[in-house]
Amino acid sequence: MSPWASPVPTLPCFSMQGKVCMVTGAARGLGFEFCRAFLQSGCTSLAILDLKDSDCRDAAKELSTYALDTNGLQKKEVQVIGIECDMSSEASVQNAYEKVMDTFGRIDSVVASAGIVENYSALDYPADRVKRLYDVNVHGVFFTAREAARHMIPQGGGSIILVSSMSANASSLSSIPLFPLTSSPVKHMAASLAVEWAKDGVRVNSLSPGYMLTKLTKSLLEKNPDLKKTWESLTPMGRMGEPEDLAGAIVFLASDASKFVTGSEIRVDGGYCIV
């Protein structure tokens, strides 16, 4: 009898059992939820990356406990490690991958979820902040994906998921100034890298959330509470998304369930982009 507590039968190809996963920006928000989804789907080897060492360690501890409670495993059967990393620095990203390889020996599924949002209008955006926005949200995602492929290609393949946004599909969809400026390149980067690495067995897809309730959006809503009503009224399903609404899509893209899917975008937006 399997030690896994889940009594719900499901397609085996959705299982994350035996897969080594890495999620960036995972100390909180969507990244943290992606980790929970992987652990709930059977992953027992997980690396979480974020800016501050203490945040990484706290999140790793919480996720480890979650895995033990959810799946009824013994402590020695689950390994969740936290790694301090600034995704905008290529050296820092390479260093983090080395730690993952030293610990687990391989890497199967990587999610690039680290990102920042700032509330400036285009006319007021300070030049150094625009550069930082690109450094984290575009260059950081590229470093994450390229380093993943460098490790996955020799081992025969893997799955990379780049977190974009529904606003990649039309700038007018975003009430956050300049948000599409970085979500669009991320969506197209996924398609472009997918073509380059397809023959090597490395799949690259993008996941585009609608407005989800995380610290990132909460900080914007604190400054402008009316935005929530606007976002809800523009969403056919009539609500903002909860981070766990992305669980099914992220497990699909990371697992063998999507083994013939590459270069695709999955939008999870309550119908916001339907025109």
Ligand X SMILES: NC(=O)c1ccc[n+]([C@@H]2O[C@H](COP(=O)([O-])OP(=O)(O)OC[C@H]3O[C@@H](n4cnc5c(N)ncnc54)[C@H](O)[C@@H]3O)[C@@H](O)[C@H]2O)c1
CB 96 to ligand X: min, Å: 9
Could you say whether residue 87 binds ligand X (CB under 6 A)? yes
Answer for which of 16, 22, 23, 25 binds ligand X (CB under 6 A) is 25
What does the per-residue mask of binding to ligand X show for 226-265, with x meaning CB under 6 A?
----------------------------------------
Could you say whether residue 28 binds ligand X (CB under 6 A)? yes
Whose tokens are 């980067």? That residue is: 189
Answer for which of 21, 30, 173, 189 binds ligand X (CB under 6 A) is 30
Q: 110, 22 in Cβ contact below 8 A?
A: yes
In the sheet with 202-209, reading across from the earlier edge strand, the strands are 79-84, 45-50, 20-24, 109-112, 158-163, 202-209, 265-268
Closest to 208 in 3D by CA, of 259, 246, 254: 246
Distance of CA 151 to the CA centre of its chain: 18
Q: Which stretch binds ligand X (CB under 6 A): 12-20, 142-150, 188-196, 214-222?
A: 214-222
DSSP tag of 240: P
Kindly tell me which of 42 and 268 has the beta carbon lying closer to ligand X.
268
Q: 48, 23 in Cβ contact below 8 A?
A: yes
Distance CA 162, CA 167 (A): 14
CB 197 to ligand X: min, Å: 22
3-state secondary structure of 268: strand
Q: 57, 25 in Cβ contact below 8 A?
A: no
Could you say whether residue 107 binds ligand X (CB under 6 A)? no
Number of residues that bind ligand X (CB under 6 A): 29
Kindly tell me which of 64 and 184 has the beta carbon lying closer to ligand X.
184
Could you say whether residue 176 binds ligand X (CB under 6 A)? no
Task: Please report, in angstroms and rounded to a whole number, the separation of the first and last CA atoms in the chain.
Answer: 49
Answer for which of 63, 96, 114, 178 binds ligand X (CB under 6 A) is 114
What does the per-residue mask of binding to ligand X show for 37-66, with x meaning CB under 6 A?
-------------xx---------------
Q: b/e for 179-189, b at 16 or more Cβ within 10 A?
A: bbbbbbbbbbb
Distance CA 2, CA 6 (A): 9
Q: 163, 33 in Cβ contact below 8 A?
A: no
Q: Which stretch binds ligand X (CB under 6 A): 21-29, 148-156, 197-205, 223-231?
A: 21-29
Distance CA 101, CA 17 (A): 18
Answer for which of 115, 158, 185, 270 binds ligand X (CB under 6 A) is 115
Could you say whether residue 116 binds ligand X (CB under 6 A)? yes
Residue type for position 118: E
Kindly tell me which of 27 and 249 has the beta carbon lying closer to ligand X.
27
Q: Which stretch binds ligand X (CB under 6 A): 62-70, 153-161, 205-213, 255-263?
A: 205-213
Interface with ligand X by CB under 6 A: which residues?
A: 24-25, 27-31, 50-51, 85-88, 113-117, 136, 140, 163, 165, 209, 211-212, 214-217
